Structure 1
C-alpha cells in the first residue's frame, strides 16, 4: 500500500524512539545544496527523485553521491557533509548513527538478490550450479550486497569462488553489461535498470534474505512548529518525506524495489 507524504510524515512524527524511526539530535547542513549519500543500487531512483525535488524547490541543488553503503556511512561518521543518508542495510546506517552523524532514520524499501547474465547468455547459465567453472562476480563481503550474496549462497550450499569481488552492486552489474563476466549476483532493481542488456535468473530462497534499506537525516523531525528545524535541515526532511511518500513509493516500485 502506498502512503501519501502526509501519512508518512504522521507516522514518522508519532513513532516512538527504538521502534524504527528514531535517534539523537544532530546538526544538518544549511544552504541551497542538499547533499545526499546513497547506496549505488538507488542510483536511478534517487536521480529521478532529485530531479523532482529540484523542480519543486527553486534554487536548490541536490548533490548525489553514490557508492557502497558501508563506505558512505563511514564517510559520514568521519565528518563528510551529509544531509540525507540512504543505505542498503542496517549495519551501515548504525555506523553513522553511533558516530552522531545521523539522528533520524528508518526503513523505506527492500531488495532481493538475483542472478544476471549477458542478454545472449553465452555460458548457458540457468541456475547457481551453472556458475561452477564460469566467470562470475559478486559484491565484496563488506558491502551490503556482498553480505546478502554470502547468505543466499550458503542457503543454497554453493561454495564456488567468484572471479572477483566488486565494490558495490552497480560495479558488479557493470561487469556483466560490459561482457567481462558470464554472470553476476546483483539486486533485482539493478537487473531491471539494465533492461535488455541482461537476462535475469531467480535464485531459490533469496526472498528469505532480502536487503532492507534505511534512510536518515542528521536532525530528528519534530511536530512542534516552533521547534522545527530550518534551512538545510528542513530541506533534508522534505527530501526524506518525498522518498517515503506516494511519489517515492511509486518510483521505488517501478525500479523493482519492495516494501521494507
Structure 2
C-alpha cells in the first residue's frame, strides 16, 4: 500500500506540474481563438473618417472588442509610440514615419493618397491650379514639412516651380483644412480624401503636380502592443476587402 501511495502521489505531482506548465492565452486572445478587449490604434489624421467606420465594423465582427483611436500627424504619433505610448497598431500617412517606429512589425501598405487644392465653397477666388496659390492677395495654408501632407506639398510645389508663401503651417491635414472651412485662409493643400469628406463646406481642385507626390499608407501591429492578438486582428481586417472598400469609397487609391 505504501508503494502504491508514493507512485500515485508522484503521478499527481507530475500532473499538477504539467498543468502549471500550460501556456495561457496571450492578452486579447480567448482560448477559442476569438479576440477581445480594447485595441488602441494610432492613425494619421487623414484616416479619421475611414478608420472610424472600419473600427465600428471591426467591433461588430468581433463582439467583445472596443477600438479606440488617436488621430494626429504621423510624425507626432511616431514620436509618441517611440516614447512608450501604449498603442497596439500604427497606421501612417507615409513610409518614413513608419520606419521611424522601431517596434513596428512587418508594415504593409494598404492605401495611397493624393493632394488637391481646397478652397471655399463656390471657389470665390477663382483658383484653377497651383500657380494661383502664388498670388500675393491669396492666403494659403500648408502642412508643416515634418508631417506627410507637408512633405508631399513640398514635393508637388517643387515639381511646379512655383513659389508659394503660406501664412500658416499646420501640424496635420485636418488643421489645414479647418483654416479654409473657417474662412481664415483662401486655399490649402490637403489630401483628396479630406476634401471629399468636407465636400459640403469646400471645393476640391485637382492639379497635375500632385502626381509627383502620392503618399503610401503603411499599417503595422506593434511589438509591445498591450493587446497583441487584437492588434493582429485589426491589421488583418484593414487589409481585407470590406475595409478596403471603405477606403476606396473615401477616395483612397489601391496600393
Q: TM bucket by the smaller chain?
A: 0.7 to 0.9
Which residue of the other structure, out of 68, 83, 88, is the alignment partner of 2:88? Answer: 83
- 1:116 and 1:29 map into 2 onto residues whose CA distance is 44
Instruction: Quote how far apart the aligned CAs of 1:196 are.
Output: 2.4
Residue 173 in structure 1 maps to residue 168 in structure 2 = no
For residues 233-260 of structure 1, the C-alpha deviation after alignment (integer angstroms, 9 at most, x for no partner) is 1211111111111011100100000022
- Segments of structure 1 that go 5 or more residues without pairing to the other structure are 1-27, 221-228
Runs of 4+ in 1 over 4 A off after TM superposition: 28-31
Larger relative contact order, structure 1 or 2 (CA cutoff 8 Å, min sep 6) = 1
Contact (CA 8 Å) 1:135, 1:182: kept in 2 or not?
yes
Deviation at 1:105, TM superposition (A): 1.1
Q: Does structure 2 conserve the Cα–Cα contact (< 8 Å) formed by 1:76 and 1:96?
A: yes
Contact 1:43 1:66 in 2 (8 A): yes
Aligned equivalent of 1:235, options 209, 230, 233: 230
Whole-Å separation in 2 of the counterparts to 1:114 and 1:82: 31
Could you state the TM-score of these two structures normalised by the residue count of structure 2? 0.82
1:12 equivalent in structure 2: none
> 1:226 — aligned with what?
none
Please give the per-residue CA displacement for 1:54-104, whole angstroms capped at 9, x wherever unaligned.
11222211110000000001111111011110001111001112xxx2223
CA RMSD, 1 decimal: 1.8
2:129 to 127, 130, 136: 127
Contact preservation (8 Å) 1:41, 1:169: yes
Counterpart CA distance in 1 for 2:61 and 2:199 is 29
Q: How does 1:53-72 map to 2 (within 5 A)?
A: 53-72=58-77
Q: Distance in 2 between matches of 1:203 and 1:126?
A: 8
1:232 Cα shift? 2.3
Is the counterpart of residue 36 in structure 1 residue 41 in structure 2?
yes
Q: Quick check: which has more Rg, 1 or 2?
A: 2
Distance 1:180 1:238, change over 3 A: same
Partner of 1:18 in structure 2? none
In the TM superposition, 1:196-211 aligns within 5 A as 196-211=200-215
CA contact (8 A) 2:104 2:222 kept: yes
Q: Which residue of 2 aligns with 1:259?
A: 254
Matched, 1:144 2:139: no
Aligned length in residues:
221
Contact 1:136 1:182 in 2 (8 A): yes
Q: Give deviations 1:205-256, integer Å, cap 9, x for gaps.
A: 3123200100001249xxxxxxxx9x92121111111111101110010000
Check conservation: 1:29, 1:82, Cα contact below 8 A: no
